[in-house]
Amino acid sequence: MKRSLAPFLFAATLALPVMAQTGAAGVMDPDSLVSQFQTAGWESVAMESNEHSIEIEARRGAMEIEVVYDRATGMVRDLDIENIDGRPITIPGLTLTSAS
């Protein structure tokens, strides 16, 4: 059971600080989100935003992450994690390998 919950717990961990950054109108601040990733040690943080979503692409070492947030709710719509060098991604209790 721990293995099946690990990806969701990881995504929830990313989403919780973001949900706290919604403004009075319930709309997330993209610049604040970029700052949160940089403060957490992510490098090369890039952000694209429209009226409905915010997409963050960031790198830490060989790991790349892409997260798409719903701008109104702060919830994670999509999450992609990969290692640039092809090594499996390890999260405590779970190892992710590519499908190929």
- Say how far apart CA 60 and CA 71 lie, in whole Å: 24
Please state whether the predicted TM-score (pTM) of the whole model is above 0.85: no
Q: Which helix (H) or strand (E) holds 7?
A: helix 2-19
Report pLDDT digits (tens) over 28-73: 899 999 999 999 999 899 999 999 999 999 999 888 999 999 998 9
Q: Tell me the three state secondary structure of residue 58.
A: strand
